[in-house]
Structure 1
Amino acid sequence: MYWHSVFSPIHTQASGYGAAIEYVLNTKKDEKILEKDEFNKISTQLLSVIEGYKNVYNLDTISNLENNIQRLNFLSNTKLKKKRFKELGIDTNTFENKLWQLRHDSAHGNDSTSSKTFVQLVREIHGFQSLCNRVILKHLNLSNYYYDYYNYSFPINEITKSIEDLEETQELTENNPQ
């Protein structure tokens, strides 16, 4: 997945890096919120409420609602991802969480390029690649440091340190001297 992402077209790379991160973090394994016995009490009540609407909605709608009740007991993908990052010992910041939207756009065929310059898109892909590198390096315990490919100077950061937009930070500092 990783090497396919490196050599794939720029607009598809984020989905490959995202898939690699999700694989390492094991986010496809569902995690229950409540124990089965506890949730069965709630789901039984929910099913009886839905049952009361049999005369209002068609059987397909009722069946879909009943089938979706079991999904209520699982963490959302976003919360599961955050939990897995925390378990791995990697904190993510707002900027890195924003990069996940790039992954979603790429994976689902949404246009993520129209409102960005080519340079912005490449930088964001490099940021997402750096996040992927952090996850792999930390998961395999290969290094305590990673290269930040998002920033032009390619700083070497501690594996637990999030990616920051150093150019934006520098502009803020220059425009707001203390």
Structure 2
Amino acid sequence: MRRRYVHFDITRIVQAWTGGAPNHGLQLRLADESDQMTSWRRFYSMERGEQGGAPRIDLTYNRAPRAPARLADSTAPTPDGTRQAAAGPFTMSAEIGDDDGEWVDARFEISLDPATGDHGVVWTGSGSSRTGHVGHIVVEARVLRPGVRYRWRVRGDDGSDVGPWSAYQHFQAR
């Protein structure tokens, strides 16, 4: 008996199931099964061999972390409406959530404020926290130059996907 392997790409139907479409399963059959002598087939999984190797589907999925919430930092408002970082270490925090797991990394980034004609990332850092909890990170004072305007943002990283960036938070170093 000659063995042949037939490959089925079921990506689109599985994506539909994860999107909420009804899951009626999969059925492998011939278009015409009226001849009982020639239409009989046995299916084995190529990866599992013929020792009881019924076909199977292994699914791995992941959703990207949610958008950051509850953003905060160690700045204070000034009379002109800007936010100013106090001398000393600068602290940022955010709540990062991931619907697929317990832990998620918060990836912070500080860059020069392009509104002042400056460009470039000056610092990046990350810290892990339980999903849905507020994670904090501290930047050493020597990273920020007095009088320079900066902006920071954050996003979640679950090890497989990264979530969207937060809006930029603008401030000036004192």
What is the TM-score when the length of structure 2 is the normalising length?
0.23
Q: Which has the larger radius of gyration?
A: 2
Higher helix share: 1
Higher strand share: 2
